[in-house]
Chain A
Amino acid sequence: MWAKASIVAIVEGGNEMAERTSEQPKVALVTGAGSGIGRGVALALAAKGVRVVINYPPGEEAGAEETGRQVGQMGGESLLVEADVSKPNAVNSMVSQVLGQWGAINILVNNAAVQPNQGLLEYRNEEFDWVIAVNVFGAVWCSQAVLEPMKRQGGGRIIHIVSVHAKRPTDFDPVYAMSKAALKMLTRESALELGKYQITVNAVAPGAVAIGQPKYGHLRPVVIPSYEPRRKLGPRRVNRMVLGRVGTPEDVGLVVAGLADDANAWMTGSVIRLDGGSMLG
């Protein structure tokens, strides 16, 4: 398989990686990068020459391999790492693995998210805990895990994938919205805290992004609650989009890649709405 061959190549180059210089490629860890926005982010970073760690949850290796294949087609380097981001130990193990392979983590993109699409009164206790564990604390554990490496490196970029629903309610998944609002404050609080280490923390808040048919329980961002019924609305739905279309993972990836750039050194604590103008309507 392509993905495993890629990992072997990296292992073989381990000693060289340990002697990184400032001219070596940056390393980005992208959570939930096996599909949707995460894949779009991984590809956009790879296009800028960034080495990409493709995190994926247990059981979803196929999507991660596809992302890795596409990175490889671009001539980029990737490393696939399985880890359930809701588990601090799994996250720490993932970060250790990345540091062992590539010696650095310069960019962290917290993208992994779940969205059961349950109503306020239908939400079950375990679903609440699950959404908060992945969407909120997955980002917290990953951020904590990269702090020491980034401090040693003299700085870094942490970027959270939030949502327009950190500000505007969903009307279809209240806990998802709660989780994204919490991420907004994780962005602001940690920007305040980490600035002295030249670690910037920003967020992108996408609106509707076409990522395919949502699947209950998948660790990936899902924006459209009832894809099939809404698709029937056709023109009415399109009309809500000022630019005439929903977003693509590539749209999000481009903005994330811009935030991650070394030149973007004075921006921190910002949450950038990226919705094709849909929240204006």
Chain B
Amino acid sequence: MDLGSTSKRPVLWLVGSDEDGLSAAIFQRATDQGWLVVGTQPTEVGEQKSDALHFDQVLEPQSAERAVSTIVERYGRLDGLVHCHWTMVRGGLIDSSPEGLHDGFMANAKEAFLCTQAVGRYFIQHHHGSIVYVVSIHDEKPSGASLSFSMAESAIAMLAKEAALTLGRHQVRVNAIEWGAQAGDDRRFFSAVSALYDDYQSKVPSRRLGRPADLADVVGFLLSAESAHIHGATIRVDGGFLLHYADEKMRPVGPVDVG
């Protein structure tokens, strides 16, 4: 792309990380839908790599404003934001340092807030835009693994509702997805005080754990015109994991799909 020209494709700022495959899947899905995706390091997405920018973690307003201005200067437009950046600092009330709790919270919640402010101002000017936050199911369900992470995810889910009110009056759509029960989550959210992830695959009614593509499909839907009347919603995408109550009735009789 020539610098300074306006992209014919809508431009999406994806604030994410590559660690769990979620950002790469979202990148691919959005690209397939015609978006030009920037703002991450999509090492697994082939030809789109050349259009990727990289921004450091946003913890100051200037960083967010600079990211938006860089995108607009380079591509001539900005049409969407997907925030899917999880920073998880393990530890609870007993064993966490003040610094660990504070930094873990801010790395998630403050980043989402500052990104929202920056894109919100731009979207309001253009009466157009879409924001999707990907939060963990631990915005509602405690894990025992990371106090700062759960607090931050819940804060971001509330940010989504607040932003939906403020920005919705300017034709900007805002929604959130609660994502969970992905392969590896038993290690990520391991806890000595919670049995939530013990044999967790059996707690998903289908015994099929979530795949990054499952999340990407819903993100793609929320970015599309098909979801035009979905606004301020929090959609839980966990395969029914959090419905679990009694082990005996949740165990399936069919083959297991490990995802």
User: With A and B bound together, what is the CA distance between A194 and B142 in angstroms?
Assistant: 13
Q: Report yes or no: A121 in contact with B117, Cβ–Cβ below 8 A.
A: yes
Q: Report yes or no: A178 in contact with B113, Cβ–Cβ below 8 A.
A: yes
Contacts of A171 in B (CB 8 A): 162, 165-166
Contacts of B232 in A (CB 8 A): 169
Q: Report yes or no: A147 in contact with B93, Cβ–Cβ below 8 A.
A: yes
Contacts of B155 in A (CB 8 A): 136, 178-179, 181-182
Q: Report yes or no: A185 in contact with B142, Cβ–Cβ below 8 A.
A: yes
Q: Report yes or no: B121 in contact with A177, Cβ–Cβ below 8 A.
A: no
Task: Indicate if A21 sits at the interface (CB-CB under 8 A).
Answer: no
Task: Indicate if A186 sits at the interface (CB-CB under 8 A).
Answer: yes
Q: How far is the CB of A166 from chain B (nearest CB, A)?
A: 7
Contact with A along B111-155 (1 / 0, CB 8 A): 001101100110010000000000000111111100100111111
Task: Indicate if B110 sits at the interface (CB-CB under 8 A).
Answer: yes
Once A120-B166, A136-B105 are accepted as A-B contacts, the answer to whether A189 and B120 lie under 8 Å apart by CB is no
Q: Report yes or no: B162 in contact with A193, Cβ–Cβ below 8 A.
A: no
Chain B interface residue count: which class? Answer: 35 or more
Once A190-B92, A192-B142 are accepted as A-B contacts, the answer to whether A177 and B158 lie under 8 Å apart by CB is yes
Picked from B94, B102, B121, B158, the residue with its CB within 8 Å of the CB of A121 is: B121
Contacts of B61 in A (CB 8 A): 125
List 13 additional A-B contacts (Cβ < 8 Å) besides A123-B113, A194-B94. Answer: A120-B163, A120-B167, A125-B60, A128-B113, A132-B106, A137-B101, A166-B158, A174-B158, A182-B109, A189-B151, A190-B92, A191-B142, A193-B193
**Centre residue among A119, A125, A177 by max chain B CB count within 10 A:** A125
Contacts of B153 in A (CB 8 A): 185
Binding site secondary structure of chain B: helix
User: With A and B bound together, what is the CA distance between A120 and B121 in angstroms?
Assistant: 10
User: With A and B bound together, what is the CA distance between A186 and B152 in angstroms?
Assistant: 10
User: With A and B bound together, what is the CA distance between A169 and B144 in angstroms?
Assistant: 26
Q: Report yes or no: A174 in contact with B93, Cβ–Cβ below 8 A.
A: no
Once A141-B98, A144-B93 are accepted as A-B contacts, the answer to whether A188 and B150 lie under 8 Å apart by CB is yes
User: B-contacting residues of A (Cβ < 8 Å)?
Assistant: 88, 119-121, 123, 125, 128, 132, 136-137, 140-141, 143-144, 147, 165-166, 168-171, 174-175, 177-186, 188-196, 269
User: With A and B bound together, what is the CA distance between A125 and B163 in angstroms?
Assistant: 17
Q: How far is the CB of A66 from chain B (nearest CB, A)?
A: 32
Q: Report yes or no: B93 in contact with A88, Cβ–Cβ below 8 A.
A: no
User: A-contacting residues of B (Cβ < 8 Å)?
Assistant: 60-61, 92-94, 98, 101-102, 105-106, 109-110, 113-114, 116-117, 120-121, 124, 138-144, 147, 150-159, 161-167, 193-194, 232
Q: Report yes or no: A185 in contact with B151, Cβ–Cβ below 8 A.
A: yes
Q: Report yes or no: A121 in contact with B120, Cβ–Cβ below 8 A.
A: yes
Q: Report yes or no: A136 in contact with B120, Cβ–Cβ below 8 A.
A: no
User: With A and B bound together, what is the CA distance between A125 and B61 in angstroms?
Assistant: 7
Q: How far is the CB of B61 from chain A (nearest CB, A)?
A: 5
- What residue in chain A is nearest B120 (Cβ atoms)? A121
Contacts of B143 in A (CB 8 A): 189
Q: How far is the CB of A125 from chain B (nearest CB, A)?
A: 5
Picked from A143, A180, A188, the residue with its CB within 8 Å of the CB of B142 is: A188
Q: Report yes or no: A189 in contact with B93, Cβ–Cβ below 8 A.
A: yes
Q: Report yes or no: B94 in contact with A147, Cβ–Cβ below 8 A.
A: yes
Contacts of B109 in A (CB 8 A): 132, 178, 182
Once A169-B162, A174-B162 are accepted as A-B contacts, the answer to whether A181 and B147 lie under 8 Å apart by CB is no
Contacts of B167 in A (CB 8 A): 120
